[in-house]
Structure 1
């Protein structure tokens, strides 16, 4: 009976707050997730520790970490609470109206490409749904970090996930301004890029992206050099327009500048299309009506290859991007 009474004292919010602190190793980050103050989170954890009569977290002025007991509780509690949430969501879904929060992890480029065009429509049609979208450049574990779904390149989706294609093929373009090519010449093969000023891309992990090309089954990965390194691809397009050098970016980001003649392509034959973006989610969990509604809207988005042009539709590639640990392929 004592154990039952003790559990009643540990409400679901306190347990979820504990898991958030464990996931973020931060009281402040957990407070932001639940729209609480850091003081309220700290009080909740202290009360939970008092009820269980065990220390769950080690605290210093600079860090928060799990004790052995806290680690064991987190490992056991995470799937249990997930099952409770799924059960409650199933009951909510019986009402027939999509509602609740859908947390999505995605690269910034994927948000711009597939989510931004439908956000206003989706939220207008489903006013009881709240979308919580987190953009990062690493391959996050959506289950461990409490997300309902993720959006990544098809080849970056973990094999144990259910994936839904939400766009057509994606293609890259090597581009620079007409003035740059007039002054420096045009590379004829990927290796020629070593003699050019290139605008490089840095992942959140700190890794510099190697430009990847393929032609007739021959793959080339080039460590380019240049005067500028950025972490934002639209800024790379702007820098190329300004004549700083050659940028290697997803085709759709450069499409407008290409049409207007501000940029020109090179190495087009070395830039085939490859499988595009997928929304993915854990197969063992209940799929809420809100997430199902979002998937339905995303499936209505026009195919990306309509934006990429007929050459992208005709391309057939066996290309596989090399994925460094902890980072997402460029998109």
Structure 2
């Protein structure tokens, strides 16, 4: 492959990743019109249309999707090879791209970022918050953080915490109107706020644990959301009962805006794991990030 073709492929992948010519041009230091012209020449040379363009958006065609899916792992390997040339550097450098679900982004990554930035000023971190499951290789990420005790065989996982307790909460006014549930079966007479799982598309089934017994059930209710913050705010607004992270609910419970119920039945979520492709040793920048995520959060974070 000649150098021009390789460069064009890299530019094409950058346009798809950025979601358009303007943002890609800002990252690459090239005008949007120059990138558009370059892509038209590339499409003419290859004899296939790779990008659909409108006045408002740019998106890959079906052929473009297939091409970029093949390019991402290859380019990740090239990036890793280039980074490996710097293994003798005194300090790790480069970019680490990470995808994490919302509670991990706020509870695990952000509290450690300030110290990480102080310790490794030559490393930039790009964090994408996404509650769905992500193929990190295909999407061009260096690592992901999810509550997944088992992953694909070619992934290496590093446990980051011990899991998290859930709380069932509601506003005092709601409980005064509908009563306080004493056990999970009482929920049949209540309104419950449901969470739609982003990848599966199904509703989260509430789980309860007591004396070694686990109960999983579908809960009634007329409100569904795909945002965990909306669950908590909906409970504060009196819409109904919500099942949220204990740490998420704690400030509201402390202030009296929410009341925790079914205390003896509260379940634990699985631990968070950081995972990355295991085909090769992680580059120095990723290794530094992994070590930072495993370290205790700074006091007061």
Residues 155-170 of structure 1: matches in 2 within 5 Å? 155=149, 157-170=151-164
Note the residue ranges of structure 1 that are not aligned, 5 or more in a row.
308-331
Does 2:107 align with 1:113? Answer: yes
Q: Which residue of structure 2 lines up, in the alignment, with residue 291 of structure 1?
A: 286
User: Structure 1 residue aligned with 2:47, among 26, 39, 54?
Assistant: 54
| CA spacing shift, 1:124–1:38, aligned 2, 3 Å | same
SS at match of 1:154: coil
Q: Which residue of structure 2 lines up, in the alignment, with residue 253 of structure 1?
A: 248
Note the residue ranges of structure 2 that are not aligned, 5 or more in a row.
none
Q: Which residue of structure 1 lines up, in the alignment, with residue 85 of structure 2?
A: 91
SS at match of 1:144: helix
Are 1:154 and 1:275, in contact at CA under 8 Å, matched by a contact in 2? yes
- TM-score of the two chains, using structure 1 as the length reference: 0.76
Does 2:186 align with 1:188? Answer: no
Does 2:219 align with 1:223? Answer: yes
SS at match of 2:164: coil
C-alpha distance after superposition, 1:106-136 (max 9, x if no partner): 1122101101111122112211111111112
Are 1:105 and 1:135, in contact at CA under 8 Å, matched by a contact in 2? yes
Are 1:86 and 1:286, in contact at CA under 8 Å, matched by a contact in 2? no
| CA spacing shift, 1:125–1:58, aligned 2, 3 Å | closer
How many residue pairs get aligned? The number is 293
Are 1:114 and 1:301, in contact at CA under 8 Å, matched by a contact in 2? no
Are 1:175 and 1:240, in contact at CA under 8 Å, matched by a contact in 2? yes
> Using the alignment, how far apart are the partners of 1:38 and 1:144 within structure 2?
25
Q: Which residue of structure 2 lines up, in the alignment, with residue 137 of structure 1?
A: 131
> Using the alignment, how far apart are the partners of 2:117 and 2:169 within structure 1?
36
Does 2:145 align with 1:151? Answer: yes
| CA spacing shift, 1:138–1:32, aligned 2, 3 Å | farther
> Using the alignment, how far apart are the partners of 2:239 and 2:67 within structure 1?
54
| CA spacing shift, 1:49–1:160, aligned 2, 3 Å | same
CA RMSD across the alignment: 3.1
* 1:20 to partner: Cα distance: 4.5
Are 2:208 and 2:265, in contact at CA under 8 Å, matched by a contact in 1? yes
> Using the alignment, how far apart are the partners of 2:207 and 2:5 within structure 1?
52
User: Structure 2 residue aligned with 1:264, among 256, 259, 264?
Assistant: 259
SS at match of 2:135: coil
Are 1:167 and 1:301, in contact at CA under 8 Å, matched by a contact in 2? no
SS at match of 1:87: helix
Are 2:154 and 2:279, in contact at CA under 8 Å, matched by a contact in 1? no
Q: Which residue of structure 1 lines up, in the alignment, with residue 33 of structure 2?
A: 39
> Using the alignment, how far apart are the partners of 1:292 and 1:107 within structure 2?
20
> Using the alignment, how far apart are the partners of 1:195 and 1:37 within structure 2?
60
> Using the alignment, how far apart are the partners of 2:111 and 2:26 within structure 1?
26
Residues 205-220 of structure 1: matches in 2 within 5 Å? 207-215=202-210, 216-220=212-216
| CA spacing shift, 1:29–1:217, aligned 2, 3 Å | farther
Residues 23-34 of structure 1: matches in 2 within 5 Å? 27-28=20-21, 31=24, 34=27
Q: Which residue of structure 1 lines up, in the alignment, with residue 232 of structure 2?
A: 237
> Using the alignment, how far apart are the partners of 1:28 and 1:201 within structure 2?
35
Residues 313-324 of structure 1: matches in 2 within 5 Å? none
Are 2:235 and 2:258, in contact at CA under 8 Å, matched by a contact in 1? yes
* 1:38 to partner: Cα distance: 4.5
4+ aligned runs moved over 6 Å, structure 1:
none
